[in-house]
A and B are shown apart, each in its own frame.
Chain A
Amino acid sequence: MLQIKNLHANVDGNEILRGINLTIKPGEVHAIMGPNGSGKSTLSYVLAGKDDYEITEGEILFKGEDLLEMAPDERAAAGVFLAFQYPIEIPGVATMTFLRTAMNAQRKARGEAELNTPDFMKIVKQKASELNVSPEMLKRPLNVGFSGGEKKRNEIMQMALLEPTLCVMDETDSGLDIDALRVVSDGVNALRNSERGMLVITHYQRLLDHIVPDVVHVMSAGKIVKSGGKELALELEENGYADFVNAA
């Protein structure tokens, strides 16, 4: 469903991604690990369509279509979702208004009918309670005053509500306490199915105990320098990145 071929991306003239190749098939969960600054978030932003990046080479196909040609909202409607590493606070935008606008915009883009208020309320309440997002949080402006962990739970709740086909999660585990990690992992696992692909960016093997990946990649200096099974994460936990970073 996702094919990234020889992707090069610059920010302000600095090459951050330097030839990424990655293919995710429906139903697969891929994890990306790698040192700080290696370009993991950059890759996730490029997938979501942030326009700070100049793509100098390569292509991204999503369900056979040229993802790079699509605007961010079109990508979302097509099924791409990014759970941000640092979800931004948006004062003045009510969480519920935001959720409803997003859900209905995507439905509209796909030619589906908009949700009516009772249905919308029902589904939000259900997903919120599954992810321990309190009704009080839903009453606040988007992410405003949320703790780090609350922001991450809110991201995954949005993912559960929007039901994307490609879930990109950027360090969703950082900032989560042990219980929240389980709650979030359960939420993510509940979304795993044969049609949905996932890209999980993390620094910690711990998350991968809960969300067991099919493939683990190591990213260093803008490239994927090693790919393997879930045992690769254990190896990294033991030995660090030194071997791979030097290899790159």
Chain B
Amino acid sequence: MTAQPQKIQTQAETSLMQQFAFLDLEPSRQAAADRLNESGLPHRRVEEWKYTDLRALLKDVPQLASAQSVVPTTAGQPLVPADFVLAVVDGIPQDLANAGANASDAAKEAVSLEIGLGDAKGFHEKPNANVDFNMALASSGYVIQVRKSAVTPIIFIDHIVSKADAITAACRHSILVESGAQAILVERFSGPEGSAYVASSGLSVIVEDGAKLTQARVVAEGDQSSHLATIGARIGTDAIYEPFVMTLGSHLVRTDVQITFDGEQSHLGIRGATLVKGKQHTDMTLDVDHASPNCTSIEQFKSVIADEAKAVFQGKIMVKQIAQKTDAKMMSQGLLLSENGEFLNKPELEIFADDVVCGHGATCGDIDEEMLFYLLSRGIPHPVAEIMMVQAFVAEAIEDTEQPEIIEAFEAILADWLASR
């Protein structure tokens, strides 16, 4: 008999396992915990984590915050005026009593809100460590259901980490946009600077036939935190899903997005802007499954990298054999503002249907000197010209957003980021 080599656990793994042992998990959460126990945190030899060695990067998994330990807090100023304003504090969803204070009767009629764990139907089919991490740790979230109505309700969820001491905050929401309904979901993630907290966020999305969901997410966590997010979405027939993820905060960010087309004639427009500086490491890993014919998708991501920061984009588009007439266009671009920044771009197209239009492009470069000179030659000082060039670079992704308020909010965040750099 050969002895199994003893796996050495990292501090984060040890702490995670200890917490799992202590929590009394129901079976599906326990199954996720067991998978993590078995595999440990993913490292660079696991293909999907090649550029984000979570095992090396995640130093600790601090104590999971519980409902008992959380001081009730209300949401901050919403990013855009919203019908429903919800707050999640240290991973714990807050009381819904005043959530719809600003909502019209029609919006109240259209939206039902509950606290709990919605069924994870829209959630990831293909479990990965990020999904398991969230599945095991999240005990609640908001369950949002939007019915068909004449209005498009706007729901804002403010995720706040309130404690200065490092904690782990975990939650998972689900949103179901029913047949023919429309909704806008706006999310913000923030927390204290200097704290090595861990935020695990899960979101399950179902956009039913003829429905439309627009989503705007801003990840602006504290500078020492780790943000591990997963979004799993299913899109019905004749449906539209348009998420935008803006990532600027946090020491470490990994966002896994899995989207599946369940019906025909649907459209996905997923976009993102990543703004990183210092020693930040961000990773957007996207997996789009064209499992139905006649659907279109646009995947457009912009990464601005300053100082010694690192941005990773992994974009996989699968076009199944049945998915004829798919039109998918993916573009991922990096703009390096320093020589020490790094942009790692891994686009992947797997096409099994023959009558499709699919393409991907990837670029990475510095600010265009010719363009910069044009601005300088008109008297615009170098720092201002550089800001204009970065704004121009990111604008391309932001501009396609339909709601002017969301565009404005994104532009303001970008301007703040540029000014503070």
- Interaction A to B: yes
Kindly list chain A residues whose C-beta atoms are within 8 Å of the C-beta of B376: 49, 71-73, 76
Flag whether B392 is at the interface (Cβ < 8 A).
Answer: yes
Interface string of A101-125 (1 = CB under 8 A from B): 1100110010000000000000000
Given contacts A91-B392, A92-B396, A93-B392, contact A73 B373 (CB under 8 A): no
**Residue A60 interfacial (CB < 8 Å):** no
**Closest A residue, CB atoms, query B373:** A50
Residue of A nearest to B391 (CB): A92
A216, CB-defined interface residue at 8 Å: no
Q: When chains A and B are docked, how far (Å) is the Cα of A101 from the Cα of B379?
A: 9
The residues of A that contact B384 with a CB separation of less than 8 Å are 101, 105
Residues on the A chain within 8 Å of B391, using CB = 92-93
Interface of B is mostly: helix
Residues of A within 8 A of B373 (CB): 48, 50, 72
Task: Give every chain B residue within 8 A of A88 (Cβ-Cβ).
Answer: 370-371, 374
A92 in contact with B395 (CB, 8 Å)? yes
**B-contacting residues, A52-85, CB 8 Å:** 71-73, 75-77, 81-82, 84
**Chain A residues near B2 (CB-CB < 8 A):** none
Cα(A81)–Cα(B389), bound, Å: 21
Q: A49-B376, A50-B373, A87-B374 are in contact. Are A73 and B388 (CB under 8 A)?
A: no
Q: Which of A76, A77, A158: most chain B Cβ within 10 A?
A: A76
The answer to whether B392 and A105 touch across the interface, beta carbons within 8 angstroms, is no
Closest residue on chain A to residue B396 by CB atoms: A92
Q: How many residues of A contact B (CB 8 A)?
A: 28
Count of chain B residues near A, Cβ 8 A: 22
Complex contact A90–B378 (CB within 8 A): no
A162 contacts partner chain B, Cβ-Cβ < 8 Å? yes
Residue of B nearest to A97 (CB): B388
Residue B346 interfacial (CB < 8 Å): no
| B392, A82: Cβ atoms closer than 8 Å | no
Inter-chain contact A73/B374, CB cutoff 8 Å: no
CB distance from B368 to the nearest CB of A (A): 8
Q: Smallest distance from the beta carbon of A108 to chain B beta carbons, Å?
A: 9
In the bound complex, CA of A162 to CA of B379 (Å): 9
User: How many Å lie between the Cα of A90 and that of B370 in the bound state?
Assistant: 10
Q: Are B380 and A90 in contact, CB atoms less than 8 angstroms apart?
A: no
Taking the nearest CB of chain B, how far is it from the CB of A141, in angstroms?
Answer: 8
B334 to chain A, nearest CB (A): 15
Query: Do A90 and B374 have beta carbons less than 8 Å apart?
Result: yes
B49 in the interface (beta carbon within 8 A): no
Question: Residues on B close to A: CB < 8 A?
Answer: 370-371, 373-382, 384-385, 388-389, 391-396
User: Can you list 23 residue pairs at the A/B interface with Cβ under 8 Å?
Assistant: A48-B377, A49-B377, A73-B379, A73-B381, A76-B378, A81-B377, A88-B370, A88-B374, A91-B396, A92-B393, A92-B394, A93-B389, A93-B391, A97-B388, A98-B388, A101-B380, A101-B384, A102-B375, A102-B378, A102-B380, A106-B379, A158-B378, A162-B378
